[in-house]
Amino acid sequence: DVKVTQSSRYLVKRTGEKVFLECVQDMDHENMFWYRQDPGLGLRLIYFSYDVKMKEKGDIPEGYSVSREKKERFSLILESASTNQTSMYLCASSLWGTGLGNQPQHFGDGTRLSIL
Amino acid sequence: GDSVTQMEGPVTLSEEAFLTINCTYTATGYPSLFWYVQYPGEGLQLLLKATKADDKGSNKGFEATYRKETTSFHLEKGSVQVSDSAVYFCAPSMNYGGSQGNLIFGKGTKLSVKP
């Protein structure tokens, strides 16, 4: 089974801090994704990556950056945390390939981040 | 742009009742279709999928049929259990250009099943 591991289940940080959320997958997937999940808004895509050192903006990239130095690891960075970034953050991975749009994404258990 | 619409929740049912959660989508090209489930305090799990018209995905007693003519992928279960209480997400995939593999998520439908 695919395993997507997020480094923390719960995290509390202060306004203005630089925050790192880490995600590791063990199935050699090319694609990795970061979402945030908020009540009434569903899942919104922040950033995604199709390969090492590649990144693409999703729907709500403002205030975030990402890093993909190794294929299995995709980090989400809050450069200067703000209270409106309090949320549940979900990481996912999937296979890539021409005509493989039918590959499902596999999710981690999420990190519930509180910014005080 | 591409989008997905799910029926609004919460949905409250008694155990052994029949469940339908409606899902319709607009998408360029020929998307694959997924249903995900999220149990309390957990991430999303793939529940079932369908990749072409008239395909039926099924798992754990849940079913959904890919209806291309109505652009729908409704989730059904004949007899729900308390353990089915969760949030359900419909998600077509983007199948073109530089976004292959990206999913479009609905807002989710919360299901509560009472004993």
Closest alpha carbon to A6 in A18, A19, A22, A20: A22
pLDDT band at A101; cut points 50, 70, 90: low
Set of chain A residues whose Cβ sits within 8 Å of the Cβ of B44 = 43, 90, 92, 105, 107
**Distance between CA A53 and CA A74 in Å, rounded?**
10
**Distance between CA A46 and CA A49 in Å, rounded?**
11
* B102/A48 touch (CB, cutoff 8 Å), yes or no: yes
Residues in CB range of A81: below 8 A, 6 or more apart: A13, A14, A15, A16, A17, A18, A19, A115
Interface test with A, best of B88, B102, B107, B109 (most A CBs within 10 A): B102
pLDDT of residue A40: 85
Per-residue model confidence as pLDDT tens digits over B60-107: 999 999 999 999 999 999 999 999 999 999 999 876 555 567 888 989
DSSP A52: T
Q: Which amino acid is at A112?
A: R
Yes or no: say if B59 and B84 are a contact pair by the CB < 8 Å rule: no
Task: State residue B52 phi and psi, 5-degree precision.
Answer: -150, 165
Per-residue model confidence as pLDDT tens digits over A48-84: 998 898 899 999 999 999 999 999 999 999 999 999 9
* B49/A104 touch (CB, cutoff 8 Å), yes or no: yes
Closest alpha carbon to B20 in B98, B55, B93, B72: B72
Task: Extract the tokens encoding B108.
Answer: 């989710």
Per-residue model confidence as pLDDT tens digits over A4-33: 999 999 999 999 999 999 999 999 998 999
| Omega prior to A61 cis, within 30 of 0 | no
* B49/A110 touch (CB, cutoff 8 Å), yes or no: no
DSSP B84: G
**Distance between CA A84 and CA A116 in Å, rounded?**
10
Query: In chain B, where do the E strands start and end?
Result: 3-6, 11-14, 19-21, 23-26, 33-38, 44-50, 56-59, 62-65, 75-77, 86-92, 109-114
